[in-house]
Amino acid sequence: MIEVKIYKDIPIPGRWRQFNRQFRQHKGAMLGLFFLLIILIASVFAPIIAPYDPAEQFPEFLRKPPAWTDDGNREFIFGTDDLGRDVFSRIIYGSQLSLGLSAVVVFIAAIFGILLGAIAGLSRGFIEFSILRLMDIILAVPSLLLAIVIIAIIGPGLPNAIYAVAIVLIPHFVRIVRASIKEEMNKDYVVAARLDGANKARLFTHSILPNILPPLIVQVSLAFSTAIIDIAALGFLGLGAQPPNPEWGTILSQSRDYIQLAPWTVTIPGVAILITVLSINLVGDGLRDALDPKDGS
């Protein structure tokens, strides 16, 4: 018998397509992604894009204002700083540090955080309790202060700043992973996998991890923006990257004394930090909305 279809079926899109569609609808997220790509390209191709070496000094062009002002020079789009270095080149090279360092930081924090969170989530009693208490204590110390203390002990400098910020970010991962595991463990599909005889490690990697990926991805984006701000803040306080390193926070702390003489050396690096962090947060918001099935109606 031939079945005549008078009424159309509604196709239900798959998970990825649905996510893709949701994300594309999020105008802010697309804008953030666009800026993030530009910054990424700038940092990867810094040697090609930047007209000068970030440390190169032009003694005849000290504190030259940006090109769009009356006193500006076309050779230096964003002007020069008090040592006659090209601000534009320094910002471009600085993006390498900001993006690269925070990527390393987030990677370290995520690995340790997920591991500890998984251990805490899959175990009970003393181990879970002590991990959670430890994380609570880390959270109780204001993040920057903790980083400062760690640096106070291991000494200032870029690598140490990375460890410090990474340690500060771990507790959030632990909490999210543990809470999600506890939540997922009670669901029927995990019970089914357990009845099939899956052990804990397999349960985590095969059944639970794919399902807690959405909150984890969101947390990564959050950690990313925190890392950028914290690294810049440490640089600003003189505890992170040391001058003449073109790290954005370090540039800011250097140009602080010239805020009235050369305000552009203060505003431009700050705008760079703000746009980068804002882009990441926009993308993070888009990811959260697109990954959250609650809003997917």
Partner 1 sequence: MIKILLKQLTILILSFTGITIIFFSLAQLVPGDPVILHYGNLTPGTEQYENAYQELGLDESLVRQYLIFIKDVLQGDLGRSTVTNHSVLEEFFTFFPATIELSLFAILIALVFGVGAGVLAAVNKNTWIDNLVISSSLIGYSMPIFWWGMLLILLFSLNLGLTPVAGRISFVFDIEPVTGFMLIDTLLAYPKYEFAAFYDALLHLILPSVVLATVPLAVIARMTRSAMIEVLSADYILTAKAKGVSNFKIIWVHALRNALIPLVTVLGLQSSVLLTGAILTETIFAWPGVGKWMVEAIFRRDYPSIQGGVLLIAVFVILINATVDLLYAAINPRMRRPE
Partner 2 sequence: MKLLHIENLSVEFPTHKGPVTVLDKVSLRMERGEVLGIVGESGSGKSMLALAIMGLLAPNASLKADYLSLNNQDLMKLTEEQRKLFVAQNASIIFQEPQTSMNPCFTIGRQLMETIELHGIRRPKKQKQRARELLDAVGINEPELRLKQYPHQLSGGMNQRVMIAMAIAAEPKLLIADEPTTALDVTIQSQIIELLLELNRSREMGLMLITHDFALMSESTQRVCVMYSGQIMENAPTESILENPRHPYSRALLDSIPHIGERHHMGQRLYSLKGTIPAIDHLPVGCRLGPRCPKAAKECVKPPRLEKIDQHGLVRCHFPLEKENQSEGSSQ
Q: Summarize as ranges the residues that interact with partner 1 (CB under 8 A).
A: 28, 133-134, 136-137, 139-146, 148-149, 151-154, 225, 229, 232-233, 236-239, 249, 252, 256, 259-260, 263, 266-267, 269-270, 273-274, 277-278, 280-282, 285
Shortest Å distance, C-beta 86 to partner 1: 20
> Residue 190 or residue 229: which is nearer to partner 1 going by CB?
229
Cα–Cα distance between 20 and 182 in angstroms, integer? 28
- Output the smallest distance, CB 287 to partner 2, in A: 21
- Nearest distance from C-beta of residue 152 to partner 2, angstroms: 46
- For partner 2, the closer of residues 11 and 197 by Cβ is 11
Q: Kindly tell me which of 52 and 248 has the beta carbon lying closer to partner 1.
A: 248
Contacts of 238 (CB under 8 A, 6+ apart): 156, 250, 253
Contacted by 22, from partner 2, partner 1, none: CB < 5 to 8 Å by type: none
Give the residue with the Cβ less far from partner 1, 121 or 269.
269
Residue 10 binding result from partner 1, partner 2, none, given CB thresholds of 5 to 8 Å by partner type: partner 2
Burial of 132 (0-12, 13-18, 19+ CB in 10 A): middle
Query: If you count them, how many residues does the chain have?
Result: 297
Distances (CA, A) of 213 to 81, 132, 182, 278: 45, 21, 14, 23
Distance of closest approach, residue 83 Cβ to partner 1, in angstroms: 19
Q: How far is the CB of 202 from partner 1 (least distance, A)?
A: 33
- Least Cα distance to 183 among 130, 117, 127 occurs for 117
Give the footprint of partner 2 on this chain (CB under 8 A): 6-7, 10
Q: What is the dihedral of CA 272, 95, 88, 242, to 10 degrees?
A: 100
Q: How far apart are CA 234 and CA 228, in angstroms?
A: 10
